[in-house]
Amino acid sequence: MPERFEQTMYEMLAQTRAVLTELKSLGVDEVYPLAGTESLPLCSQGMSESNLQRCDCRTETLDEIRIELGDCQRCKLAKRRKNLVFGSGNSHAQLVFVGEGPGRQEDESGIPFVGEAGQLLDRILFAMGLERDQVYICNVIKCRPPQNRNPNNDEICACEPFLQRQLASIKPQVIVALGKFAAQTLLQQQTSISQLRGNWADYQNIPLMPTFHPAYLLRNPAGKRDVWEDMKMVLRRLAQEDSP
Residue nearest to ligand URA (CB): 99
- Of these, 92, 123, 142, 180, which contacts ligand URA (CB under 6 A)? 180
Q: What is the rounded distance in angstroms from the CA atom of residue 170 to the CA atom of residue 128?
A: 20
Q: Which of 89, 112, 129, 145 binds ligand URA (CB under 6 A)?
A: 112
Which of 40, 88, 94, 118 is in the footprint of ligand URA by CB under 6 A? 118
Per-residue burial over 51-87, b if 16 or more Cβ lie within 10 Å, else e, is eeeeeeeeeeebeebeeeeeebebbebeeebeebbbb
Task: Quickly list DSSP for 152-212.
Answer: PHHHHHHHHHHHHHHHHHH--SEEEEEHHHHHHHHHT----HHHHTTS-EEETTEEEEEE-
Identified binder of ligand URA from the candidate list 42, 62, 117, 158, rule CB under 6 A: 117
Shortest Cβ 36–ligand URA spacing (Å):
28
* One residue of 95, 96, 106, 207 binding ligand URA per CB under 6 A: 106
Alpha carbon distances (Å) from 115 to 84, 93, 99, 105, 107? 16, 22, 13, 6, 10
Among 87, 89, 102, 145, interactor with ligand URA by CB under 6 A: 102
Q: Which of 163, 193, 196, 235 binds ligand URA (CB under 6 A)?
A: 193
Q: Does residue 139 interact with ligand URA by CB under 6 A?
A: yes
Q: How far is the CB of 95 from ligand URA (least distance, A)?
A: 16
Enumerate residues 6+ apart whose C-beta is below 8 A from 223: 212, 216, 217
Task: Report the residue number, 40 or 111, with the smaller CB distance to ligand URA.
Answer: 111
Distance CA 138, CA 66 (A): 12
Distance CA 131, CA 89 (A): 9
Shortest approach of ligand URA to residue 160 CB, angstroms? 15
Q: Is 97 in the site for ligand URA (CB under 6 A)?
A: no
Q: Which stretch binds ligand URA (CB under 6 A): 62-70, 73-81, 114-122, 157-165?
A: 114-122
Q: Which of residues 200-229 bind ligand URA (CB under 6 A)?
A: 212-213, 215-216
136 near ligand URA, rule: CB under 6 A? no
CB 186: neighbour CB atoms within 10 A?
Answer: 23
Q: How far is CA 241 from each of CA 58, 61, 232, rounded to the nearest angstrom?
A: 23, 23, 14
Q: What does the binding site for ligand URA look like in residue numbers (CB under 6 A)?
A: 99-103, 106, 112-113, 115, 117-118, 139, 179-180, 193, 212-213, 215-216
